[in-house]
Structure 1
């Protein structure tokens, strides 16, 4: 009997998705790939993201050669019809997709067997077992202390023997965050570290860019942001090169300045590996294992390696599983009742319309590259949305569309739970926002800015400093009951200019800060 064809989605591009030794399809199974134009019409994606995904898909198809049937269609359903023809229920397999929408679609098709998810260290069943064992433990009201990241991260490290010395964590501590929060070096515009790996474009990239140009001219699709040159891996070989380059040249310096921000050096020592990981070009195990080897051989300090392992084996796995664990209703959570629409300048990535240097700089980074690291995402972009009360569903969609590593499973917990606190504490213990003092400490953004981080009112009032106090006042009752924010709320009573601050902030409306 001939093996059933196997359908590859555009974020399932690595060899592990076709490996029969780990629950994949038969090694001789023909492969189906569908490039559906409707995906690009559904949302106004970043142009660089559209280019990257299509380039990666077409590169994978070229690698598979005669084994693959590559279909360009309006929708996935139309593409399947082209492949299956009159045999509309002919059997095929597909690995568990990464979004609820895609899973519902493939699960509703006749003759389709959904294989287990790949590209993660922890299976759905194993996470369910862990979550079930911890259910009801701890204390708290709306929070779920038993399902917090730290406990999950310890469990993953123990289960996979990552950075462990016997039963204990390497170096005697699980968490080295305290060592990884240094501000950028004084007087330096960039870190003294070798630059990130960059790819060289080829004929496939040129073809994709011509297609995107034509579709835009014809009015079929619309994008935001700028495209070119490609900055991230689109093939397995490129992804492996990027990983080796990071471990050899950048991992050692990653930890100390993990949370720092520099206008002229947006990448710092970050790996940029979330992009090939989320395309399925890399498997998380092959990322954390050489990082640990670098520590064991003395080539990278423990704080850098632990910080990197935490990102991949901790946070990435945690977000993936919470996406499925919390259920579909999670995307509609809005505990703070924020409903303000996103302003046009933000939707259009119009960095030039913004006066606040931190926000203008970060928005320009997104416009030009489709990427920033986690601190600008959380403490500049996300904090602005939280302080101004923007609709969390719209903020989630914006991050999904505008970041090259953004997918539904990535952004829903990150934005609803971490960034916008819209779940009321199911994922994190407090809202993550701050005044200008934090940004001033952790970046070089404030010195050339028209606003001053220590001014709450007046023409030089920092939008983040004023916005922070406005946010605390707006949600005073809720935040006063949270032990992690209660002290900050009490600070409102010491502000003699609170009324002026509230009036000024309210009058700004959705004007660019």
Structure 2
């Protein structure tokens, strides 16, 4: 009997229908299930819901008569309506919950995952016996194993990591980097249908969204994703490296690729991204620091996060070494950027509200840092990032937020908490000069909430952080603060209102 192959909504590229030793049979019928319950369980960003549904329906349109596309309340119901009890194959889903679901169905055979460079068994072999699973060591392993940016058995240029060349602040006085604009798709009749459906669901009170929707900014099919990749490689990659950690109020995207949503929907394969970047360097079209930085994001960090999601196990979700339990305030959950006076936080919240995206430094050093300093529950912060970002999935956000952003795992992923005072934001952006708060002030009406929050955070966790080699010096600096008592009183009285 022919097995039907099930495509989840983040398995939309050709790799997930490749007929090989670990794929579905050639010309196998396909089923796709659009589950309304997914959107009831969480308050997703409206632009994210739009992108996912648009991408699924575009893929179904491409597959034509080969696919049975079911709109149902749940995955289980939709699969039953499509195939009854007939045999089904599916590539391993990207979340533990979805994997548990497909494994619970007697008629479903789970195939190995697709969309990543490293097999899970290969990562397990690499990790076996290691005291620490650091990204840098794993990244070098991937580079060697996949012959990426290698020459004569070593890294091209003689250096594995050029991050020190990729931390330049934005040019003084510049409102933008002047980089060519990123690819933006054109909406079509499928997008119109998705928007009407989402409007109806909201009107009927069936679901509730946050953020704004439209026009669609990210690719929803393979052709669009390939076009976005080509535009990045030809027109934006060369300027990516030096300023990848910078922030500019007038330039939300700088030289970033904006390919994460396409990779995480399965529309792009990581191999074509990193090999395309390497080809650009070998052709003299992009400098090594830009290319290595981009390759490190995909072959290093993205692969590392995917592997740790499965390697650390389900209990990793409950990590909370710092004991943070505060609830997320309504203004944060509602993406109410207009209620916020702190210019950096208002700017980044506005970007998330309007697009469902911002690049990695605003995520880590503005949004994540603020949540960490306020002591918010890391599980709630993780869920917020999952819901509010177009590229956010459980496997993406769990290690990124629990491990790196909120340091809730106590250092299993990273060697220190990633938080800072306002001086870092001032150095890496143009956001501070017009702000009502001063980055060098800890106490008073014009005290920067990040500067005050940073010292309050260090004080609150000094017992843990003074033994960390990367934070001990800062903790010892608490003893030199003559206004520490006033700062702590100020922070206790701040409450949960917007800064």
Please give the range of the TM-score, normalised by the shorter of the 2 chains: over 0.9
1:96 matches 2:92: yes
Tell me how large the CA RMSD over aligned residues is: 0.7
The CA distance in 1 between the partners of 2:382 and 2:321, in whole Å, is: 15
The CA distance in 2 between the partners of 1:209 and 1:252, in whole Å, is: 36
- Flag as ranges the 4+ runs of structure 1 deviating above 2 A: none
Structure-1 residue corresponding to 2:125: 129
- Contact 2:438-2:448 within 8 A present in 1 as well: yes
Which structure 2 residue ranges, 5 or more long, are not aligned? none
Structure-2 residue corresponding to 1:28: 27
The CA distance in 2 between the partners of 1:260 and 1:80, in whole Å, is: 46
Structure-1 residue corresponding to 2:252: 266
135, 138, 142: which one pairs with 1:149?
A: 135
- Contact 1:418-1:427 within 8 A present in 2 as well: yes
> What are the within-5 Å matches in structure 2 for residues 500-511 of structure 1?
500-511=486-497
Structure-2 residue corresponding to 1:118: 114
> What are the within-5 Å matches in structure 2 for residues 100-499 of structure 1?
100-132=96-128, 134-136=129-131, 144=132, 147-499=133-485
**TM-score scaled by structure 1?**
0.97
Structure-2 residue corresponding to 1:57: 56
- Contact 1:262-1:445 within 8 A present in 2 as well: yes
Which structure 1 residue ranges, 5 or more long, are not aligned? 137-143
Secondary structure of 2:344's partner? helix
Number of positions where the alignment pairs a residue of Structure 1 with one of Structure 2 = 499
The CA distance in 2 between the partners of 1:232 and 1:411, in whole Å, is: 19
The CA distance in 1 between the partners of 2:252 and 2:27, in whole Å, is: 44
Question: Residues 235 and 22 of structure 1: is their aligned pair in 2 closer, same or farther, counting only changes over 3 Å?
Answer: farther
- Residue by residue over 1:299-348, the C-alpha shift from the partner in whole angstroms, topping out at 9 and shown as x without a partner, is 00000000000000000000000000000000000000000000000000
- Contact 1:191-1:265 within 8 A present in 2 as well: yes
- Residue by residue over 1:171-223, the C-alpha shift from the partner in whole angstroms, topping out at 9 and shown as x without a partner, is 00001000000000111100121010000000000000000000000000000
The CA distance in 2 between the partners of 1:21 and 1:313, in whole Å, is: 24
The CA distance in 2 between the partners of 1:84 and 1:4, in whole Å, is: 10
- Contact 2:352-2:388 within 8 A present in 1 as well: yes
The CA distance in 2 between the partners of 1:22 and 1:453, in whole Å, is: 58
- Contact 1:3-1:28 within 8 A present in 2 as well: no
- Residue by residue over 1:346-376, the C-alpha shift from the partner in whole angstroms, topping out at 9 and shown as x without a partner, is 0000001111000000000000000000000
The CA distance in 2 between the partners of 1:163 and 1:276, in whole Å, is: 23
Residue 22 of structure 1 and its aligned partner are, at CA, apart by 5.9
The CA distance in 1 between the partners of 2:361 and 2:21, in whole Å, is: 36
The CA distance in 2 between the partners of 1:22 and 1:68, in whole Å, is: 22
The CA distance in 1 between the partners of 2:34 and 2:463, in whole Å, is: 50
The CA distance in 2 between the partners of 1:69 and 1:263, in whole Å, is: 45
